Amino acid sequence: MNIMTNKIYFLYFSIALMLVSIILLFLPGLPLGIDFTSGSTITYRWDDKTPAQDEISNAIQNAGFESSIVQSMGNNEFYIRTADLGLNGKDLIDNELEIIIGEKPVTLDTNTVGSSVAENTIRNSIIAVFISSFFVMLYIIYAFRNIEKSYLYALAAILTLIHDVFLVMGLFIIISLFLGSTVNSIFIVGILTVIGYSVNDTIVIFDRIRENTTVNKSMDLLNIVNKSVNESITRSLGTSITTSVVILSMLLFGGQSLRDFLIVLLLGVIIGTYSSIFVASNLLLVWKYGFRK
C-alpha cells in the first residue's frame, strides 16, 4: 500500500484543520473555567423537585449575579458557574432557589478561585507545555543521533505535536458548544497526556524508519518511509482502537467529573494516530523533496 504517494493531500488537509482550529481559538474561543477566569462554582441537587435550567438562571439573576452558566448533570444535579460569590452570595442564591422552585437544594460542592490563582494557573500551564515539548525534542535528537540530520526528526515530532494540540483544542471548542464543557486544570493534564501519546506513536514509526534506513541503504527515502508506515500501521491502529474503546466506555459509564478529561484523551488518541501516520512521516519527506514532488 503506497500511502506516501499522495502525501501532499494529507498535509494540505492537516494545515486546513489547523487554520480552522486557530480561528476557533479566537472566535468563539476556549470555554475557560474558573481555574483560568476566577469566579465560583456550585453543584446543587434537588431530591424531590425537577427544576428547569431557566428557573435556576432566573434565581441566580434575582440574587444579583447577572452572568452565569447553568449545566444539567442528570439526576436532578446542576453545575453552576458564576462570578465570585463573596461572603453571602451563596445564601442569596439558595434563598431565591427555594422561593422560585419551592425546595431548598442540597449543596454538593462549592469552589471559588481568585484572579491571582487563575493567572498563576495560566502561566504554569503554558510553562508545562513548553517544558514537556523541549524535553521531547532533546530526547528525539539523542535517540536518533546516529541518523543524519537527526534534528529534523525532532522538528517533525514537535510540529506534529503542535498540530495535535491545536486540533484537540479546536474540536473541544466545538464539543463544548453542545455539552457545556469548560477548560480547567484537568484539561491541561489531558493535553499533556495527549502530548505523551502523540510523541510515543510518532517515535514508533520514526524508529521503524531508522531501522529501514540502516538496512536498506540503497532505497530512497520515499520508499523507506512508505515501507515503515506499512509495517507500523497495524500496530498503531490496534493500539488506538483498544485505547479508544476503554476511554469511550469510561466516558459513557463513568462519572461527570472526568468527562472533559476523557473527551480530551479520546480526541488526542484519534488525532495522534492520524498525525503519526499521515503528518509526522510526511514532514520528513517534505524536508527531503519539498511540497511539490
| Residue 103's CATH number | 3.30.70.3400
Would you say the C-alpha torsion 168, 173, 177, 181 has a positive or negative sign? positive
Find, among 264, 268, 21, the residue nearest to 161 by Cα.
268
Percent above pLDDT 70 for the chain: 93
Final residue before a domain boundary, out of 90, 113, 136: 113
Contacts of 243 (CB under 8 A, 6+ apart): 269
Angle 25-27-29 from CA coordinates, rounded to 5°: 45
Partners of 110 in beta bridges: 42
pLDDT of residue 116: 62
- In the structure grid, which three cell numbers stand for residue 106, read together? 442540597
pLDDT of residue 84: 81
Question: Is the pLDDT reported for residue 266 higher than 90?
Answer: yes
Q: CA–CA separation, 119 vs 125, rounded Å?
A: 10
Which stretches of the chain are assigned E, i.e. beta strand? Answer: 39-45, 68-74, 77-82, 106-113
- 173 and 283 share one domain: yes
- 27 and 161 share one domain: yes
Q: CA–CA separation, 233 vs 11, rounded Å?
A: 18
Question: Is the pLDDT reported for residue 223 higher than 80?
Answer: yes
Total domains in the chain come to 2
Residues 2-8: what's their mean pLDDT? 63
Q: Write the pLDDT tens digit of every residue in 34-69.
A: 777 778 888 999 988 888 888 898 888 888 887 677
Contacts of 275 (CB under 8 A, 6+ apart): 14, 160, 163, 164, 198, 202
Give the three-state DSSP class for 72.
strand
- 51 and 22 share one domain: no
Give the residue with greater pLDDT, 171 vs 254.
Answer: 171
278 is in which domain, residue-wise? 3-33+116-289
- In the structure grid, which three cell numbers stand for residue 204, read together? 514508533
The kind and range of the H/E element at 148 are none
Question: Is the pLDDT reported for residue 211 higher than 80?
Answer: yes
Q: CA–CA separation, 13 vs 7, rounded Å?
A: 10
3-state per-residue secondary structure call for 229-256: HHHHHHHHHHHHHHHHHHHHHHHHHCCH
Angle 82-268-113 from CA coordinates, rounded to 5°: 20
- 62 and 129 share one domain: no
Lowest mean pLDDT among 94-108, 135-149, 196-210: 135-149
CATH number for 130: 1.20.1640.10
